[in-house]
Structures are given as structure tokens and as C-alpha cells.
Amino acid sequence: MKSSEELMLLLELNGYDVKKFKLRKQLEYEETGNMDLYKHKKFADLLISHYSYVEDKDFFHRNPLTYKKDWGEEIKSLDQFYVTHTDFEGEMTLKEFLLLKDFNEINRESILYDIFDGWVEEYRESSMTQMENLRDMVDLLPKKSKKYHKPSKISLILMIIFALLLMLLYKNPTTIQPKIIPFISNYMVDLNQLLFDSKWFSFFGNIVIFILVLYAVLNNGISMFIRDVRSEKNKNALATFDKWNEDMKNERLKQSGELEDYVDKVIKSPDDSTLDIAILSGPEKLMKKFKEYVKMVENKFDFMTNHYKRIMFWLRMLFIFGMLLNIAFYLVGFLLMKGVI
């Protein structure tokens, strides 16, 4: 048992609410294919279920409705999976059952529906609980917080203006010459000439432009990241989840329809029992999409909360450094023109 799990278990046993941690762990444990996880409401029960579960690669004994591509290329058809029923002893593959001569069409159809209903009900309960857990995970995340402010727009605008001024100084200094102030106008022309006369000064100017542009890009990127994290936790996110819940129901209905069509086919032609297993994977593909979405939200939020202060500190340092370099560029240029340097 991991130390974090042991700590949370002790906290739960002492009445501490560990719901958020339990939901995260459940999402992690579900990757093993343990279909009993959804039955447990307490973290202690979830741990027992997870650590007592023996994960193996015998996918043909699993619920085929949970099929994923990573199960392997050898898993191609529904009739490869093993089935059990009270009307026959032991277990056999679905294909072997359909080729038995012990049952007439009515009995065979009844047994098939019993088997499929068991698969459908187990998967329905599991997927519904998984969807509820995912929704709870998003809902438990803090809503828009005043604690995490986006970087200053004023500093962003300043850096963009300073960067553009330097670029124009390289390209066409006449566009930034104030005609009513001859001193500054002449200074800009001389500074432009100095860029061509001194390679190291020109290189220095490029470094300043790079720092200014870098700050602007980072400022904008961090602002967008914080905005995205905030938007993932608003009421629109839960409304999106409601829509996804309906999409999940529709996919399960399509899945049940495929199974019903399969029963009709194999009752008439038991020898033709092949059914592409990928046809039944619609709900699982959606579930994977939802889980990836929730993990993305969790990871973004965790990154922001863990690194926010550090990121904002270095961004401020970069702003100060860029401002100082920008001032130093013009000062050094002035000193070069005066022959001081």
C-alpha cells in the first residue's frame, strides 16, 4: 500500500472526508478492469477490492462490453468470450454454446438473452457510477478563485510596445521619429546607424527584443492557461457533463441494439456467430474520452495550484529584467555616441 493511501485510510477511519482522494484513486484503479470497484462507497472497501483483485490478461473471461483496443489483436469477435448459465454445466465459449444440439431455438434464444442481459446490466451499473464519479470530481474542484490572478495586461502591453519600438528602430527609424522634438529624432537616426556600425551593440539589441517578446508570449500563455483552468470548473462544465451523460445512454442503447440483432442472426444461423467486438466498444470509447477530460482538468488545476507562486515570481523577474535591459540599451547607445564607451 502506498503511503498516501495508508494516510487517507487512517483519516477515513477517523471520520475525515476523503471523497476527492477516493475518486482519484477509483479513476486510477479502473484501468485494471476490476468491475467490482463501482460497488464500493468507502475508500477502505475500494482499497480491499483493488488489492484483492488479481489482474490477468485472460480477456475472454471479462465482460466483452468493456472491450478496449489494447486487449490485443487476437480478440476479434464476441463469440470468442466464455459464458456460463444455469441450464448447462461449466463454461464454454459463445461459439461452442451456439453449436450445441441440446437446445432448440426458443431455449437457445432465452439463454442468450439471459447472458447478454447480465453483461448489459453489469456494464450499465458500472458505467453510470463511473460517470457520477467523474462528475463529482469536476464538481469538487474549487470554483473561480480570486487567489489566482492572471498576469498584468499593462505589463504585457508595455513589453509589446517596447519590442515594436526596437524592431522599428532596426527596420525604419523614421516611423518613430517625433518631428517636433529634433533631439530625439536625431538620436533615433544615430542609434539606427550605430546598430550597423557596432555588431555587439546590434546583438545586444536583438537580445533585448528577444527578452521583451519572450515575456509577452509567456504573459499571454499563462493568462490563457489560468483562464482555461477557471472555465473548466464553471457551471458550463457541468452542463457539458449532462450532455455527455445523454450521449453515454445513447451509446449503450446502440450497444444493446447490436446485441439484439446478433441474437436474431445466430438463432437462424448458429454457424455464423461472428460479431466484430469493436462494434460494441462505443460506450467504452466515450468513457475513455470523459476520463481523459477529467484527468486533464485535474492536472491543469494541480499544476496551477502547485506552481502558481513560482511561475508568477519568475514572470515578474523577467519583466523587471526586460525593463532594465530595454533602458540599458538606450543608455549604452547614448554613451557610445558620446564616446564614453
CA distance 241 to 145: 21
* More reliable by pLDDT, 321 or 179: 321
CA distance 314 to 280: 50
Nearest alpha-carbon partner for 237 in 144, 148, 135? 135
**Lowest-pLDDT range, 80-84, 112-116, 177-181, 244-248?**
177-181
Q: Is the pLDDT of residue 171 over 80?
A: no
* More reliable by pLDDT, 40 or 186: 40
Q: Is the pLDDT of residue 59 over 50?
A: yes
Q: What confidence category does residue 318 fall into, taking pLDDT thresholds of 50, 70 and 90?
A: very high
Nearest alpha-carbon partner for 63 in 276, 275, 281? 281
Residue pLDDT, tens place only, 216-274: 999 999 998 888 777 665 556 677 778 888 899 999 999 999 999 999 999 989 899 99
Residue pLDDT, tens place only, 189-198: 777 777 777 8
Using DSSP, state whether 274 is helix, strand or coil. Answer: coil
* More reliable by pLDDT, 62 or 298: 62
- SS3 sequence of 177-213: CCCCCHHHHHHHHHHHHHHHHCHHHHHHHHHHHHHHH
Amino acid 261: pLDDT: 94
Q: What confidence category does residue 150 fall into, taking pLDDT thresholds of 50, 70 and 90?
A: confident
**Lowest-pLDDT range, 25-29, 138-142, 156-160, 257-261?**
138-142
Average pLDDT over residues 159-181: 71
CA–CA distances in Å: residue 271 to residues 62, 216, 264: 23, 68, 13
Q: How many CB atoms lie within 10 A of CB 235?
A: 8
Residue 77 DSSP one-character state: B
CA distance 304 to 230: 10
Average pLDDT over residues 165-169: 82
Using DSSP, state whether 338 is helix, strand or coil. Answer: coil
List the grid coordinates of 207: 537580445
CA distance 35 to 253: 20
Residue pLDDT, tens place only, 90-101: 999 999 999 988
Q: Encode 321-341: b = buried (16+ Cβ within 10 Å), e = exposed.
A: ebbebbeebbebbeebeeeee
Nearest alpha-carbon partner for 251 in 124, 78, 76? 124
**Lowest-pLDDT range, 44-48, 273-277, 293-297?**
293-297
Q: How many CB atoms lie within 10 A of CB 284?
A: 18
Q: What confidence category does residue 172 fall into, taking pLDDT thresholds of 50, 70 and 90?
A: low
Q: Is the pLDDT of residue 16 over 90?
A: no
Amino acid 173: pLDDT: 59
Residue pLDDT, tens place only, 112-137: 999 999 999 999 999 999 988 888 88
What pairing do the DSSP bridges indicate for beta strands 88-93 and 82-85? antiparallel
What percent of the chain stands above pLDDT 90? 42
**Lowest-pLDDT range, 55-59, 158-162, 183-187, 264-268?**
183-187
* More reliable by pLDDT, 257 or 330: 257
Residue ranges of the alpha helices (H) in 141-173?
153-171
Residues making up the chain, counted from first to last: 341
Mean pLDDT of the chain: 86
Amino acid 181: pLDDT: 46
